[in-house]
């Protein structure tokens, strides 16, 4: 799938990003409901990568901008985000 950063949305690309120590962030919930985005460590990103994937679901990956740099964002949604 294409994105404005021209980065591939594949697990291999995400794994390489994390292993290269590039910046990652985490968001729990929907941004418009006030969810915050924070930097996470490479070790935490490795843990999350086991469950998060690009696409639709409760545990998703996105390429995003955070503080002026491109990051791999891990997002988790809860059941309350569906309503």
> Which uninterrupted H or E stretch holds 7?
none
Q: What is the pTM of this model?
A: 0.85
Q: Calculate the average pLDDT of the chain.
A: 88
Q: Which residues of 50-64 are buried (b: 16+ CB within 10 A; e: fewer)?
A: eebebeeeeebbebb
Q: Evaluate if residue 52 carries a pLDDT over 90.
A: yes
Q: Evaluate if residue 73 carries a pLDDT over 80.
A: yes
Q: What is the pLDDT of residue 19?
A: 98
């Amino acid at each position: 799938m294409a994105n404005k950063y021209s980065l591939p949305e594949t697990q291999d690309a995400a794994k390489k990003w994390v292993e290269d120590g590039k910046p990652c962030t985490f968001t729990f919930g929907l941004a418009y409901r006030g969810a915050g985005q924070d930097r996470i460590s490479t070790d935490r990103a490795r843990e999350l990568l086991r469950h998060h994937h690009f696409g639709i679901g409760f545990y998703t990956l996105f390429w995003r901008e955070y503080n002026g740099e491109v990051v791999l964002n891990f997002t988790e949604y809860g059941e309350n985000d569906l309503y």
